[in-house]
Amino acid sequence: MDARLDLLTAPGADKALKHLMSAGRALQESSPLPPALHELVALRISQINGCAVCIDMHTKEASAAGETPVRLNMVAAWRDATVFTEAERAALELAEEGTRVADAAGGVSDPIWSRAAEHFDEEALTSLVIAIGMMNAANRLNIITRRPAGDYVAGQLG
């Protein structure tokens, strides 16, 4: 499968994508959240959105960040898995509801926000919210252009 458009080389897209990727790197470098949690959240969002290239990327990045195969395999069914902490569950729940905004009339519910706030301070919540929004944007760019998946190597983008 070939991409409809390669946004990494398309005229006019290079500057915007460099800023988007730079913002993602800055978020990861300054975030108080563990890198593995960022990857689990990105993986779950990508699973929901059906973004194969991001599922490929974040599975490999999570593995490189120390995630185990069992935990990676259980992300899609995290509610029924015993391998996630309560904080990780709160982050995954926030990521799901923040991704499924059309399904959750009114956006993220107060109970889900409150559960996340029990585990994360304002700085960590800020990082989590920005990561959720940016991952959804990346998913949409890749889905629209049908960027193919399977050949990503951990660390490839930075």
The token duo for 135 is 């991952």
pLDDT of residue 158: 67
Instruction: List, for residues 123-146, the tens digit of each pLDDT value.
Output: 999 999 999 999 999 999 999 998
pTM of the model: 0.92
Dist CA 43 CA 56 (whole Å): 9
Burial bucket for residue 82 (CB in 10 Å: 0-12, 13-18, 19+): exposed
Instruction: List, for residues 78-121, the tens digit of each pLDDT value.
Output: 999 999 999 999 999 999 999 998 877 778 999 999 999 999 99
Domain 13-145 has CATH 1.20.1290.10: yes
